[in-house]
Amino acid sequence: MVDAPNAADTTEELQQAEEAEETQDELQDTQTTEEEDKAGDLSETLLETQEAEDVQETPEEAEVEYEESQGQLEKSKDQAESHQEEPTVFENKHTEEEPPIAETTPQ
């Protein structure tokens, strides 16, 4: 037979074990959330740093980049002009007398 004081002790120990497990889960969730927040903050900081570095170019770099883009623009204009042709005119092959193809299919 089980002694009443021992049963009470066992129940209390089970409750304490469950509470300890819940506390451990909550602590782990909190740590995970904090780590994710830190990782997100670091990623955001890195992105901002990279964007700032992209913006900070020397005047010489900016001039070279501008000249290259102007050269590309001129090439594109030249290609567009050389490829211009007369527009293609498509004739309507259906006349008033001919029914559309959908109406001539056998049923």
Residue 60 located in a structural domain = no
pTM (two decimals): 0.33
31-88, pLDDT tens digit by residue? 888 888 888 888 888 888 888 776 677 788 889 989 999 999 998 888 887 776 666 6
| 98-101: Cβ within 8 A, 24+ apart | none
Residue 76 located in a structural domain = no
Task: Return all residues near 57 (Cβ < 8 A) that are at least 6 apart.
Answer: 65
Q: Is the pLDDT of residue 95 over 60?
A: no
| Domains contained in the chain, number | 1
**So what's the pLDDT on residue 68?**
92
Residue 15 token pair: 């409750």
Residue 22 located in a structural domain = yes
Name the residue range of residue 24's domain.
12-44
| Mean pLDDT to the nearest integer, 5-15 | 80
